[in-house]
C-alpha cells in the first residue's frame, strides 16, 4: 500500500499543475476518487483511483445563491420547521436554466434571507454570497416584492382603493403599493418593505379572509415555473 498523500498533491502530479490549481480543480468538483466526486483537497488517498474530468476548467470557486419554492408550513429565517432542510441535491429542479454545476459545498453555510410567513409559500432565497446578503438585508425595504393572495368574502366599498393606499399596520400608515384583481378570488400585490402578517391584515381591513399567499418575485428575480419544494441556482451575474 502506498503512503497516504493529500488529494491535491496527487491531482497536481496527474495534471502537471501547481498545488493551488489542483485545489481549484477539486473544489470545483472536477476530481473523482474511485468514481466518486470529492471536493476536499486535503483528503488523504493511497491506492484509490484518482481521475480528473476531461472537461475540467480552472475556474473561480463562486459562492452560491439558491432559490427555493417554499411550501406553506415551513419557516424561512427561524423556527422549528426550517425550509433550509428542503434544500438537497435530490430536490434540485431538473429544468434549472442557470448552468451552474451542482456541488456539495453549495449546501454549506447557507443563510436564508427576506422573511416569508410560515403559512405562505413561494420564492425564498438562501445564499453563501456576502454581496447578496448585503443587498437583501441593507436594501430590503427598497426592493419590490410581488405576491398573489387568494381570498374569500366580499370586499368592502372602495376596498381595492384602500389596499393600494390608505391602510395602517402596527400603528403606522402604509405607503402606496400596487394591488389589482388577478381573477375573482386572487389579488396581486406589488409592494416594498412588507412585514410579517401584513398582507393578511391588509385584507382583513377591507373585509377579506386570506386563503393562501404565494410570493412570486423579489426585485428582478421571479419564481417562474419552479415546482413547490424544489430549488434552482441564481445565475452568476443576476441581481435582485
Task: Give the pLDDT of residue 1.
Answer: 62
Tell how strand 209-218 and strand 121-127 pair up. Answer: parallel
Indicate if 24 and 134 belong to the same structural domain: no
Provide the number of structural domains found in the chain: 3
Task: Give the pLDDT of residue 173.
Answer: 95
Mean pLDDT by 10 residues, the chain (240 residues): 81 82 80 84 85 80 93 94 95 94 91 96 97 94 97 96 96 96 97 96 97 98 96 92
Indicate if 133 and 70 belong to the same structural domain: yes
Distance between CA atoms of residues 187 and 210, nearest Å = 10
Indicate if 84 and 44 belong to the same structural domain: no
Structural domain includes residue 195: yes
Task: Give the pLDDT of residue 121.
Answer: 98
Q: Is 7 exposed, middle or buried (0-12, 13-18, 19+ CB in 10 A)?
A: buried
Indicate if 226 and 211 belong to the same structural domain: no
CATH number at residue 23: 3.10.290.10
Indicate if 71 and 102 belong to the same structural domain: yes
Task: Give the pLDDT of residue 50.
Answer: 85
CATH number at residue 83: 3.30.70.580
Grid cell 456539495 is found at 104
pTM for this one? 0.84
Range of the domain at 88: 65-140+221-233
Amino acid at each position: 500500500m502506498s503512503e497516504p498523500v493529500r488529494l491535491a498533491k496527487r491531482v497536481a502530479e496527474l495534471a502537471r499543475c501547481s498545488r493551488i490549481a489542483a485545489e481549484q480543480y477539486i473544489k470545483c468538483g472536477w476530481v473523482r476518487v474511485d468514481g466518486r466526486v470529492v471536493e476536499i483537497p486535503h483528503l488523504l488517498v493511497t491506492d484509490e483511483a484518482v481521475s480528473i474530468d476531461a472537461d475540467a476548467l480552472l475556474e473561480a470557486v463562486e459562492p452560491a445563491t439558491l432559490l427555493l419554492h417554499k411550501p406553506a408550513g415551513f419557516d424561512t429565517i427561524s423556527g422549528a420547521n426550517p425550509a433550509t432542510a428542503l434544500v438537497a441535491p435530490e430536490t434540485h429542479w431538473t429544468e434549472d436554466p442557470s448552468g451552474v454545476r451542482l456541488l456539495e459545498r453549495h449546501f454549506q453555510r447557507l443563510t436564508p434571507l427576506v422573511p416569508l410567513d410560515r403559512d405562505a409559500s413561494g420564492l425564498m432565497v438562501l445564499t453563501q454570497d456576502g454581496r447578496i446578503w448585503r443587498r437583501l438585508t441593507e436594501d430590503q425595504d427598497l426592493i419590490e416584492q410581488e405576491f398573489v393572495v387568494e381570498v374569500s368574502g366580499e370586499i368592502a366599498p372602495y376596498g381595492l382603493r384602500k389596499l393600494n393606499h390608505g391602510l395602517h399596520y402596527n400603528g403606522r400608515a402604509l405607503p402606496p403599493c400596487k394591488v389589482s384583481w388577478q381573477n375573482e378570488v386572487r389579488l396581486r400585490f406589488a409592494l416594498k418593505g412588507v412585514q410579517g402578517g401584513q398582507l393578511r391584515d391588509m385584507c382583513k381591513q377591507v373585509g377579506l379572509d386570506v386563503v393562501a399567499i404565494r410570493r412570486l418575485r423579489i426585485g428582478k428575480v421571479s419564481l417562474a415555473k419552479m415546482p413547490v419544494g424544489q430549488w434552482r441556482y441564481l445565475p452568476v451575474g443576476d441581481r435582485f
